């Protein structure tokens, strides 16, 4: 079962990484690159939170959420560098 489509991470990958000792969202994210692709975790991180919460026997809300990183949604370089300022 695929958990993260951008980075092609399966449920089996997640379970193995948890077994290896990645017991928090940031470690799992870095170990598997889950949530590091174009969707920036919108789809996979909520699923990951549920899997990890169940494995650790804690409430999903106790696991927090990975640090948000701007620009939050994939954004063209041309928009971020503000070329309209220069040309307009």
Q: What are phi and psi of 43, to 5 degrees?
A: -90, -45
Is residue 35 within 8 Å of residue 69, measured between CB atoms? Answer: no
If one asks whether residue 60 binds another protein (CB under 8 A), the answer comes out as: no
If DSSP states are collapsed to H, E and C, what string results for 33-73? CCCCCCCCCCCHHHHHHHHHHHHHCCCHHHHCCCCCCCCCC
If one asks whether residue 74 binds another protein (CB under 8 A), the answer comes out as: yes
If one asks whether residue 31 binds another protein (CB under 8 A), the answer comes out as: yes
Binding residue (CB under 8 A) for another protein from 8, 24, 46, 50: 24
Closest separation between CB of residue 23 and another protein, Å? 8
Provide the token pair at 82: 């503000």
If one asks whether residue 76 binds another protein (CB under 8 A), the answer comes out as: yes
Q: Which residues bind another protein (CB under 8 A)?
A: 20-24, 26-27, 30-31, 33, 36-38, 40, 67, 69-71, 74-78, 80-83
């Amino acid at each position: 079962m695929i958990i993260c489509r951008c980075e092609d991470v399966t449920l089996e990958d997640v379970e193995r990484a948890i077994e290896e000792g990645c017991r928090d969202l940031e470690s799992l994210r870095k170990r598997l690159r889950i949530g590091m692709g174009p969707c920036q975790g919108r789809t996979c991180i909520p699923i990951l939170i549920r899997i990890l919460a169940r494995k650790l026997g804690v409430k999903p809300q106790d696991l927090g959420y990975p640090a948000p990183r701007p620009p939050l949604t994939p954004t063209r370089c041309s928009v971020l560098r503000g070329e309209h300022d220069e040309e307009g």
